[in-house]
Structure formats: structure tokens, C-alpha cells
Amino acid sequence: MRVYLDNAATTALDKEVVEAMLPYMTEKFGNPSSTHQFGSEVRVAIEQSRKTIAKLLNVSPSEIIFTSGGTEANNMALRCSTEFMGIKHAITSPLEHHAVLHTLEDLAKLGKIKLSLVNVDAKGNVDLAHLEELLAGYDGQTLVSLMQANNEIGNLLPIERVSALCEQYKAVFHTDTVQTMCHYPLDFQAVKVHFASCAAHKFHGPKGVGFLYMSADVKIPPFITGGAQERNMRGGTENVYGIVGLGKAFEIAHRDMEKEAAHIRELKGYMIGRLQNEFPGVEFNGESGDMDKSLYTVLNVSLPKTDIGEMLLFNLDINGVAASGGSACSSGSDIGSHVLRALGTDMERPAVRFSFCKSTQLQDIDYAVDVLKDILKPVVA
């Protein structure tokens, strides 16, 4: 049996998405910048995807810029805003995805910005009083970059309150919405943000495509030059079938959001209960064990200490269970999760991130917990 519980890393392509993409891999192969019929029919498909996404986010199509994914979208927002909007101060948290944290650290090392890290509590929640203190203590314009939901521990940012603080202090607000986009309804007219990032493969779309939402209130030059694509904001021939797949996945996710969220919430609650019953002293990192304060798709677990701690994920894998120790983007690193380290988590205890999707079933949870019991039998006996 094989069980996939690493959906925060990537999800399987939805069959409806594949069907939508296939014609643009075969007969509809024109370059969207070409003026003949082969090009124009492809251009129409790109713009239809843009309109679909914009409508569901309650924004203008001109505010959606297609990218290669969340990392490029984050880099575009952070590098271009600090370079061309006169921003010399940025605020983020120590728990951000490396696409944000490393980018801002790089800009600080280059002397382009002063970087401030907002405090987080023992559970990983942003200290809003400290955020306001940092905003009030700087005279010039500040960039605030805080993810709406943490990809490792699932904590949800009170985005409305952060948005209000940014508006009060005239700060530019960027939020990485890679884990929340298409899992929660987002309305960027109701909650003001200047930049938001998206990656299609987090909600059953294709890999290698995403977008940056950029409010019409801000103006930056292109991140990639060399062509007039994306309204002169990103040079290079568009990933046509990727964009078509992104648009279709976006549509499906919003169509089925309420039903799928209820299903996944049930699975997460069930797994929390089983783990508590089988492993006395189990801990849920961050707010991931609280259904109201965390992503319903993510559960981050610290298990009892064991001699095979470093090999736990390997043992799960050879028994057919796919899970993660943290961000998949950091695989290959032997230093462990920077998020858990920042929270002071006992790194001697093996930590596993389980993440769920609409195709996950109760029997998948049972199998994964039973495998864990067998692996950790000497510890829990």
C-alpha cells in the first residue's frame, strides 16, 4: 500500500485539469505573441485563465501576472518593490518560507534594506504589538512580508489585522498565500494587500506555474526583461498549458471548496485523535493541532524520542507512507526545520509534517498511524 500525506509539498494533477491542458500540448501550439490564428487562439486561453482567477479574487485581470510559481512571485514582489519603490526597510518573521526569508536576507546583505524580524510567540504566532512597534519606529516606507499560513506548522496569520496596520502606517504589504490560495476564499478588495503569491501545484494544478497578484496601487518595473509578455511585466514566452491548467484548477478548487474543506477537516481531526491515543505525550507543533487556528491541510507532529529519529521519514517511505520533515523546498538540508528551531522545539524528537488533500481517505490515516506504531514500537511499548 502507498499513502501520500505530503500535499503541502505538491498535489496530484486533477483529471479535469489534465483534460483542459491537453489541447494546448497538441493542436493548439501557437505562440501567443504571434498575430495569426494559431497565436490568437492561445492568447485567448491565457486571458480567459487570467479573467477566471481575477473574478474569484475580486480583482482586475490586469493585476494578475503569471509566473513560474510562488518563489518567482515572491522574488518579484520583494526585489522589485525594494529596488524601485524607495523602500529601505522590510519586516518579516523568522518562520517565513525561504523564498521570502532568504530573499530579504540577501537584500539586507547587499545593503539595499534594513531587515527587521517581528517577534513570534512559543506557538509561532506573530506578535502584532511588536509589528506595530517596528512600523511606528521607522520614518520611511516599510515593506511587510508575512505569509498567510505557515507551510510547516500551519499557523494562520490574522491577515485583516496586519492589513489594517500596514494601511495605518502606509506600509507595502506582501503576503505569501501559496498554502491558502484555493483552500480559503480570498477577496483582495475586502482585505487590502499590495502583493500576493500563488503556486498552482498546491491545489491540483501543474508544477512550474503560478502568479503574482499586484495591486494597481503599486507600480514596479518587470522582474524579467526581454519581451513584452504579461503586459510588459515578465519577458519570455508564456507557459501556455501551465496557465490553462492553473486557471482550471483555480475554478475547480473554488467550485468544490466548501465540500473538500469539510472532508479534509474531518481527516485531520481523526488523525489528531488517533495520534493522541497511540502516542502518549505526542505534541502538535505550532498551532497545527488547533483546528481553528491552523491550516486544515497541515498537521505537524513531534513524536517520542527514538534512536531511529533521523531515519523516521526513511522508514515511513519504505513502508509506503510519504510525509515530510518540513518544507520540501529545503530537502537535502541536514540542519532540520528552521521553523521548528526558531520555536525552540526539542530537535531530539522526530517531527513529521502530514498534509492532506481531497483524495486522502480515512484508511490512509489509519495505515500511516499503524506504520508509525510499528516503527516506534520499542518506544511506545
| CATH, residue 44 | 3.40.640.10
At 84 the three-state DSSP class reads helix
Q: Report residue 235: phi and psi, to 5°.
A: -70, 150
Q: Is 281 left (phi over 0), alpha (psi -120 to 50) or beta?
A: left
How many residues in total does the chain contain? 381
Residue type present at position 196: A
Q: What range does the domain containing 186 cover?
A: 15-255
Q: Where a domain ends, among 194, 226, 255? A: 255
Report the C-alpha gap between 138 and 348 in whole angstroms: 40
Check whether residue 251 and residue 261 sit in a common domain: no
| E strand residue ranges, 165-236 | 172-176, 195-199, 210-214
Check whether residue 216 and residue 322 sit in a common domain: no
Check whether residue 312 and residue 344 sit in a common domain: yes
Check whether residue 100 and residue 164 sit in a common domain: yes
Check whether residue 163 and residue 234 sit in a common domain: yes
Identify the active-site residue in 80, 198, 329, 357: 329
**pLDDT given at position 326:** 61
Number of domains in the chain: 2
Query: 68 Cβ partners below 8 Å, 6+ apart?
Result: 208, 209, 210, 239
Check whether residue 245 and residue 286 sit in a common domain: no
Tens of pLDDT, residue by residue, the chain (381 residues): 999 999 999 999 999 999 999 999 999 999 999 999 999 999 999 999 999 999 999 999 999 999 999 999 999 999 999 999 999 999 999 999 999 999 999 999 999 999 999 999 999 999 999 999 999 999 999 999 999 999 999 999 999 999 999 999 999 999 999 999 999 999 999 999 999 999 999 999 999 999 999 999 999 999 999 999 999 999 999 999 999 999 999 999 999 999 999 999 999 999 999 999 999 999 999 999 999 999 999 999 999 888 777 789 999 999 999 999 865 554 444 457 999 998 888 888 899 999 999 999 999 999 999 999 999 986 655
Check whether residue 160 and residue 39 sit in a common domain: yes
Check whether residue 175 and residue 96 sit in a common domain: yes
| E strand residue ranges, the chain | 3-4, 64-67, 89-92, 114-117, 142-145, 172-176, 195-199, 210-214, 283-284, 298-302, 321-322, 351-355
**pLDDT given at position 333:** 46
State yes or no: is 329 an active-site residue. yes
Check whether residue 117 and residue 237 sit in a common domain: yes
pTM for the model: 0.94
Check whether residue 272 and residue 183 sit in a common domain: no
Q: Where a domain ends, among 207, 237, 255? A: 255
Q: Where a domain ends, among 255, 276, 302? A: 255
CATH number at residue 367: 3.90.1150.10
